[in-house]
Structure 1
Amino acid sequence: MTKTTLAILLTIFTFVAFAENTEKEDKKENKEKNLSIIPLPVIAYNPTTAWMFGVAPGVSWFMGDASNTSISSGLGTLIYTTKKQFMFTAKTNVFLEGDDWNLLGDWRYFITSQPTYGLGTGPQSTKPVGQGIEYDDGQFSEPIPDAQMMEFNYLRFHETVLKQIEDTRFFAGLGYHLDIHSKIKDNLLDLDADPPIITSHYGYQTLTGFSSEKYTLSGISLNALYDSRDNAINPYSGRYAFVNLRVNPEFLGSVKSSSILWMEYRDYIHLNPERPRHLIGFWTYGWFVTSGDVPYLDLPAVGWDQFGRSGRAYTQGRFRGPDIVYGEIEYRFPLQKNKETFGGVLFINATSGSNRAGSKNTTGSNLADINLFEYLDYAYGTGLRIMLNKKSRANLNLDFAWGKYGASGFYLGINEVF
C-alpha cells in the first residue's frame, strides 16, 4: 500500500464517521445558531510536502439576517510537514449585514520549499535552462531538464473592501496587497561549477534586475465584483465575476513599479431542478503582468489563487509566467437517492502560460519565447464530497488528480473548489 493510498483511506475513514455524527447533531441544532466551526484535522501526503499534519478549520456565519445577508466564511491552515515545512493561512470572505459590504482577506506565512519549472507551459517551458543559458559568448551553463527545488519564507497580507452598488449584486472597492519573499535558497544554483549551473529563478532575476535573495511587492488595487451565487461556500446557482487591477509603486515598498491584472468568472448549470447538487460548474481566470517587471515568485502561477485551488494534479506554481490563463469544468452529482450527505465530482482543468518576460538570457538571445495559448497543459480527476454541515453546505473534499509529465496529487479541503 502506497503512502498516498494510506493517507486517503485514513482520511475517508475519519470523516465518514465524522459526517454520520454531524448528520445526527444537525437534527438537534438550534435553529437560531449563527456560527458553524469545523475543526478539520489534516493527515495527507503528496510528493511536494511528503506527510502533512495539522488542522485546517473552516468557519461559516451570518453577519445579519439570513434572508438578506450572504453567508460569510473563513478557512485556515496550521500545518507542519515531514519536509520541515510550516504553513499558516487565514482566508476570509465576509458579507456585512444586508450585503452592504464584502470583505476579502488572504493572510499567509510559509516557511517552505517548492519545485519550480521555469516559465510558460508545454515541453519548452524549462528553456532556456533546459538546454543551458548562454552566460558568455559561446559558453552555456549546465542544462537543468527537470524540477528546480527552492526554499523560502513567504509573507502575504491581502485585504480588499468592496461596497455594494445600490440594491444590486455589483460591488466595487479598493484593496491593499503585500508580498514578501525572504531567505530564498536556490538549491541547484552553482555559479562556481564548470560549466556553471544557472536556474530559472536566478536567470530571470538577473535579467530583470531583482535580487535573488529577497524581494517585496506592495501595492493597491481597484476592484469590481458581481456575485449572485446562492451560497459562496458551496454554490448551487448564480454567477461570479471579479476583476482586480493591482498597481505596485516603488513608494509603497515595491522593488520596482509594476501592475498586474486578475480577471475571473464562475458559473453553474443545473442538470436536475429537483436535485440542486446535480450540476456542472465552470471556472476560468486570466492573470497578467500588464506593466513593468515583477519578481520571479510573484509572477502569475497556477495554484496561487486566493484559496489555492487551481491546478489540481500539479504542484503549486508548476506553471508560471507573465501571463496565465486557467479553465476548469467540474461535474457534481449526489451519491444518495434522497440525501445530500455524500456526493461525487469529475473534473478537468487546463492551463496556458507565456514566457515573454523571462525568455531572454543574459546575452539577449531568445531561447524560450512561448506565447499564451501556444501550449495547453491539462489535468483530470475525481473526488468524494462529504457534507459536514447542511445549513452552511460545508463539504469535506477528497480529490485525486492526474496530469501531464507524470503529475498526480491527492487533495484534502473544506468547501467546494469553486
Structure 2
Amino acid sequence: MEISKHIADTATQRDLIDIGKKLLKIKQPSGVDSTGQKVYFSFLPFSTNVPGGGQALITTTTAGFYLGDRSNTYMSRMTFTPYTNFGRRFGLPIRSYIWFRENKWVIDGDIRLLKYPIETWGLGREHHHDDHLMMDYTYLRVYQHAMKRIKDGLFLGGGYNLDYWMNIRSREHIALSEYTGYPYGTDDQDYSISSGLSANLIYDTRANSINPWAGNYANIRLRMNPKFMGSDQNWSSLFVEARRYHRFTRDTNKQNMLAIRHFLWTVFNTHAPYLDLPSLAGDTYNTSGRGFPLGRFRGKTLYYAEAEYRRNITDNGLFGFVVFANATTVDGPGSRFFKSWNIGSGAGARIKFNKNSGTNIAIDYGISRHHRGVHLSLGEVF
C-alpha cells in the first residue's frame, strides 16, 4: 500500500518541544530508525465550565506511534482525555485508531466511562435554546472494530458496540419522557442498554489521522442491536461519513489546505433509545458542531457538513490559523430535514506542540445564533 506523498518535512519545522529544549539547554537525542517505534506524546491540561455550573479539570494526552516501517505503515494514535470536578462528575474516555504493519489491518476503539450532567433540548427544534432540560446519568461505552485491507485504502470488517446508560434522571421538576415526548429510554426504568454488532467499511489514505496533511477518508457503519444480545429494543442505525483534504500547495513545509467533512446518521426503528439517537457532537471525538452546545440537536436522522481552511502563519509551522463553518439539519418538531438548517462558524489558532506526530494545540472560538464558546483540543478537529 503506497503512503501519501504529502507528508510534512519536520527538519525545518519548530514546535513547543524544540523551544523547551532550547530554553532548558537539552541536547537533541539521536534519530529514530525507519521503523519509527518511538511514541510521540502530547499533553494539554485545561479547565472549563460544565453544564449545571462549576468548573472541571480536563487533561488530554495524545500518543502517535508506528507499528511498522514508516514507508508502508500509517501513524497510529491513542487519545486519553480524563476530566473531573473533584466531586461526583468524571469522565474516562480512551479512543484509538491503530494501524498494523504494512497497513494490513486497522483497529479503532472507543471506550468511555462517564458521569456528568448534560443539557438536552428534545428532538429537532422542539424547544428554544434557553428552554433546555438538565439531565444526570452514568454512561459506559465499548466500541471495538477490526478491519482488514481489501485493496489499496479500502478496508472491510466489523465489531461490537455497547451503550449502557445508567441512573438516567432529570434534575428539573419535569420528567424526561414528558419533556421530550419520546417514550423510549426516557421512562421510569432509568436505564437503557444497546448491545450489538456492526459491519464496517472504511477508505483511508491519510498518513496521519492526528493532523492529516492530505488524502481522503470515508466510513460506513451499519449497526444492529438485537434483544438477544442484551438490547432493550430491536433497532439498527447507519452512519456514513466522507472527508476530503485538499492542499493548495505542493510545498510539504507549508500548510495551505481546505478540509471538508460531512456525515449522515440515521436510525431505522422508532424504538431506538433517546440517548442513542443521532445528535450533534455525538461523533467519536465529539468534535462536530463547534459554536453549539454539546448535543444541541437530536433526532432520528441528522446530516452534518463542515469546511475548514487551514494555513501557517510562520514558515517554521509553529503558529497557524483556521477559519471554519458548519451546518446541521435534523428531523423533528419545529424543523424539516434538509430545509431547516442550523449554522455555526468561527476561527481558531494553531500552535505546534509536537512536530513528529503533527500534533497541534487547537484553540477555536465558535459562534451560532444563540451560543458562542471556546473549543480546545490536541490535534486537528477532523
Instruction: Flag whether TM exceeds 0.5 (same fold).
Output: yes
Letter in 2 for 1:198: E
Compute the displacement of 1:392 (Å): 1.1
**After the TM superposition, which residues 247-262 of structure 1 pair with which residues of structure 2 at under 5 Å, given as runs?**
247-262=224-239
Distance 2:60 2:119 in 1: 23
Q: What amino acid does structure 1 have at the position aligned with 2:206? A: R
1-structure distance, mates of 2:59, 2:81: 6
User: Any idea what SS the aligned residue of 2:269 has?
Assistant: strand
For 2:205 and 2:52, how far apart are their aligned partners in 1? 36
Counterpart of 1:156, as a letter, is R
Question: Is the contact between residue 164 and residue 191 of structure 2 (CA under 8 Å) also seen in structure 1?
Answer: yes
Q: Deviations over 1:17-42 (max 9, x none)?
A: 66732688795463236211123222
The offset of 1:43, in angstroms, is: 2.6
Q: Which position in structure 1 is the counterpart of 2:354? A: 389
Equivalent residue, structure 2, for 1:403: 368
Equivalent of residue 213 in structure 2, options 215, 219, 236? 236
Q: Are the aligned partners of 1:50 and 1:83 in contact in 2 as well (CA < 8 Å)?
A: no
* Structure 2 counterpart SS, 1:410: strand
Q: Are the counterparts in 2 of residues 233 and 393 from structure 1 also a CA contact under 8 Å?
A: yes
- Write out aligned runs for 1:13-52 (5 A): 20-21=19-20, 28=29, 30-32=31-33, 34-45=38-49, 50-52=54-56
Please list the CA deviations of residues 110-149 of structure 1 after superposition, one character each: whole Å capped at 9, or x if unmatched: 11111101111xxx432xxx7xxxxxxxxxxxxx961111
Q: Distance in 2 between matches of 1:37 and 1:279?
A: 25
Once residues 323 and 335 of structure 2 are traced to their aligned partners in structure 1, the CA distance between those partners, rounded to angstroms, is 30
* 1:333 partner letter: R
3-state DSSP of counterpart to 2:296: coil
C-alpha distance in structure 2 between counterparts of 1:299 and 1:150, whole Å: 16
Corresponding residue of 2:277? 299
**Is 1:153–2:143 an aligned residue pair?**
no
1:89 has 2:101 as partner = no
Picking from 57, 61, 73, the partner of 1:57 is 61
Map 1:214-293 → 2, pairs under 5 A: 214-274=191-251, 275-293=253-271
Q: Select the structure that is richer in helix.
A: 1
Distance apart, 1:400 and its partner CA: 1.1
Q: Residue in 2 aligned with 1:341?
A: 318
Change (3 A) 1:117 1:67: same
Report the counterpart of residue 126 of structure 2 in structure 1.
125
Report the residue type matching 1:183 in the other structure: N
Q: 1:142-181 maps to which residues of 2 (within 5 A)?
A: 146-166=131-151, 168-181=152-165
Contact 2:90 2:115 in 1 (8 A): yes
1:295/1:45 CA distance change after superposition, 3 Å: same
**In 2: Cα distance, 1:23 partner to 1:384 partner:** 23
Deviates more, 1:272-281 or 1:77-86: 77-86
Question: Deviation of residue 87 (structure 1)?
Answer: 1.1
**Whose radius of gyration is greater, 1 or 2?**
1
Worse overlay, 176-185 or 20-29: 20-29
- Write out aligned runs for 1:374-385 (5 A): 374-385=339-350
> CA 1:321–1:307 in 2, change beyond 3 Å: closer, same or farther?
same
Instruction: Summarize the Cα distance change of 1:97–1:26 in structure 2 as closer, same or farther, 3 Å threshold.
Output: farther
Question: Normalising by the residue count of structure 2, what TM-score does the alignment of the two structures yield?
Answer: 0.88
Match of 1:112 among 111, 116, 138: 116
- Structure 2 unmatched runs, 5+: 1-14
- Of 306, 316, 321, the residue aligned with 2:299 is 321
Match of 1:198 in 2: 178
Contact in 2 for aligned 1:101/1:161 (Cα 8 Å): yes
Q: Check whether the contact 2:52–2:134 (CA below 8 A) recurs between aligned residues.
A: no
SS of the equivalent of 2:284 reads coil
**For 1:4-58, what per-residue CA distance to the aligned partner results, in whole angstroms no more than 9, with x for missing partners?**
xxxxxxxxxxxx9667326887954632362111232223346666422142111
After TM superposition, the score normalised by the length of structure 1 is 0.81
Q: CA RMSD in A?
A: 2.5
Q: Counterpart of 1:92 in structure 2: which amino acid?
A: S
Structure 1 residue ranges without an equivalent (≥5): 1-15, 131-143, 356-367
User: In structure 2, what is the Cα distance between the partners aligned to 1:345 and 1:306?
Assistant: 22
Which of the numbers 77, 81, 96 marks the counterpart of 1:73? 77
Residues in 1 aligned to 2:30 and 2:372: alpha-carbon distance in whole angstroms = 39
Check the 8 A contact 2:75/2:207 in 1, yes or no.
no
Q: Secondary structure at the residue paired with 1:198?
A: helix
Contact 2:51 2:119 in 1 (8 A): no
